[in-house]
Amino acid sequence: MKGWKSALRIIIESTLMACLLGIALDMVTAHIAVEYFTYYHVKVVDSESPVVMALVWGVYAAYWFGIIAGILLVIANEARKQPLAVSRIRRILCRGCIGIWSTLMLILGGTYLSYERLHPGPYNNFEAERRLASVTTTHSTEYILGAIVTLIACYLVWSHPTPINSAATETD
């Protein structure tokens, strides 16, 4: 390992971004269907507040994914002849997180708007079922999308062109 401090920074930043993405997603979904967290998941905190659920579950369900993604990014970076600066990897991660969040919001909205067509009645409570199904579908695709974006990010890190002397002079 050429730069253990850089490797550690990549893992920490990847974990923080995964947690922030988890919180951002859960802030939306917990306000749509808080029962997804309070009824259909194990109890990790004694609250039914959507904000508390988003903060707790956003970190609890995402930190481990960020660690794994960070390790994979370090491996991809170390496989290069000249590793990228952490700031370049950070930019790749930020774009990936924005892409994931945007895609998940489209899935959430699309599921919500098409629920009646995809699941014709009868309904006990149409709106509650539609909200829960939208949140469930969104969270079901979260890890798959995260894995795809992580693999793409690793490829981008590994294959990113490095101009002569840029990595040595670029500050993190």
Long-range contacts of 160-167 (CB under 8 A, 24+ apart): 160/80, 160/84, 160/88, 160/92, 162/80, 162/82, 162/84, 166/85, 167/82, 167/83, 167/84, 167/85
* pLDDT for 160: 86
- The reply to whether 171 falls in a domain is no
Q: Is residue 100 part of a domain?
A: yes
64 is a domain residue: yes
- Assess if residue 170 is contained within a domain: no
Residue 172's pLDDT is: 56
Tell me if 16 is assigned to some domain: yes
- Residue 166 within a domain: no
pLDDT tens for the 172 residues of the chain, in order:
558 899 999 999 999 999 999 999 999 999 999 999 998 888 889 999 999 999 999 999 999 999 999 999 999 999 998 999 999 999 999 999 999 999 999 999 999 999 988 878 788 899 999 999 999 999 999 999 999 999 999 999 999 887 555 544 455 5
101 in a domain, yes or no? yes
Q: Residue 80: what pLDDT?
A: 92
pLDDT on residue 124: 86
Domain residues for 105? 4-161
Residue 163: the pLDDT is 57
The reported pLDDT for the residue numbered 167 is 45
- Based on the structure, what is the number of domains in the chain? 1
Tell me whether residue 142 is in a domain. Answer: yes
